[in-house]
Structure 1
């Protein structure tokens, strides 16, 4: 989806921040916005140059997020 909807519209440096939790199972939860994570991507000249996040370091929450992501991927 990113390649189709985002990359073709990013000739200038563009940051996409605060990704949904379901898309970022290894990222820590956003400190002030429920449902989002501390993650960003940088696009320049129609290409992704950087993908970074604050690492989730709680193994129990990591497993829960992986299981949720697998369940959602199975449905779709």
Structure 2
């Protein structure tokens, strides 16, 4: 059960990193590059960043479900052994 918790924790951390990277990509779309000019839309792929946001949200939720299940199973195992 500990392995499942560790795997879920690592998965949630990676999903958080992916979310952060995608959010920074989206936020930089309106940031001035030099002076007052905005970054051209062709240089920022907002659609893939939005897909990455959704994917990281799903990955985090799935890993959290694994962690909850492993926690519940560990609790039941301890109850049986007690």
| TM-score bin (small chain) | 0.3 to 0.5
What TM-score do the two structures reach when normalised by structure 2?
0.32
What TM-score do the two structures reach when normalised by structure 1?
0.34
- Greater share of strand: 1
- Greater share of helix: 2
Larger radius of gyration: 2
